Amino acid sequence: ETGVTQSPTHLIKTRGQQVTLRCSSQSGHNTVSWYQQALGQGPQFIFQYYREEENGRGNFPPRFSGLQFPNYSSELNVNALELDDSALYLCASSLEWATDEQYFGPGTRLTVT
Amino acid sequence: KQEVTQIPAALSVPEGENLVLNCSFTDSAIYNLQWFRQDPGKGLTSLLLIQSSQREQTSGRLNASLDKSSGRSTLYIAASQPGDSATYLCAGHGGGADGLTFGKGTHLIIQP
């Protein structure tokens, strides 16, 4: 069984640009969640998807959007990048419900200059 | 709104010691609590998940407890080893659609 994978590992973008981060959940996991972790902080919940529908969102603006696909992959899109968007972005998958044990990927380090 | 606090923020102990990491949460209506380990610049590794109906969970040298009434969870690490050095995060789930609420973590260093 493969774990959760994310790509790319690192990314550098300029303020105002758009970025797409990718995640591949564990096979059979129907819920995927995305988190933002600033340096020295705990991860902050962005949103979660269950069977391709967004069913929960944290305190993030609409320029953070996502998609979940039938093949257990998902995307996090961020438009109009700001300097404060620089962080480690983590995705997590769980078997069925968001309350099941969460398995995290290695993260994508995004730097906005 | 759930808030999670972890004390201490950093801890350094000699190898072989038993130690306790603390996690407190403000909303006792917690559905479950999960402990994670994070190595520098890496993702999170799940250590233990405790459901609200449980009092503790054990995995190898790790034991986690949950006391909903006092809003506290502890992670006990027995016979610590240098390889245990990492940041330990606790996170609570309220059972709704709000995801996990994390503490800031305890940065643990085990001195050889």
Distances (CA, A) of B98 to A42, A62, B30, B73, B107: 15, 16, 12, 20, 26
Mutate to test the interface with A, among B6, B21, B25, B44 (most CBs of A within 10 A): B44
> pLDDT-derived band of residue B100, with 50, 70 and 90 as boundaries?
very high
B34 chain-A contacts, CB cut-off 8 A? 101-102
Pair B78, B19: CB distance under 8 Å: no
Q: What is the pLDDT of residues B17-56, one digit of tens each?
A: 999 999 999 988 899 999 999 999 899 999 999 999 999 9
**List of chain A residues with pLDDT < 50:** none
Residue A27: how many CA atoms within 13 Å on its side-chain side? 2
Which residues, including other chains, have CB under 8 Å from residue A110's CB and lie 6 or more apart?
A11, A12, A13, A19, A21, A78, A85, A86, A87, A88, A89
Residues of B with CB under 8 A from a CB of A: 4, 31-32, 34, 36, 41-46, 49, 89, 91, 93, 95-105
Specify the DSSP class assigned to residue B51.
Answer: E
Closest by Cβ to B97, choosing from A48, A92, A101: A48
Structure confidence at residue B98 (pLDDT): 85
Structure confidence at residue A56 (pLDDT): 93
Pairwise CA distance, residues A30 & B25, whole Å:
28
Structure confidence at residue B95 (pLDDT): 84
Structure confidence at residue A96 (pLDDT): 83
> Of A80, A74, A40, which is closest to residue A60 (Cα–Cα)?
A80
A56 chain-B contacts, CB cut-off 8 A? 96-99
Q: Å from B44 to nearest chain A CA?
A: 6
Cβ contact B100–A103 (<8 Å): no
Residues of A with CB under 8 A from a CB of B: 4, 6, 33, 35, 40-48, 55-58, 88, 90, 92, 98-99, 101-107, 109
Structure confidence at residue A7 (pLDDT): 97
Closest by Cβ to B99, choosing from A6, A48, A106: A48
The size of chain A, in residues, is: 113
A57 chain-B contacts, CB cut-off 8 A? 97
pLDDT at B1 over 90: no
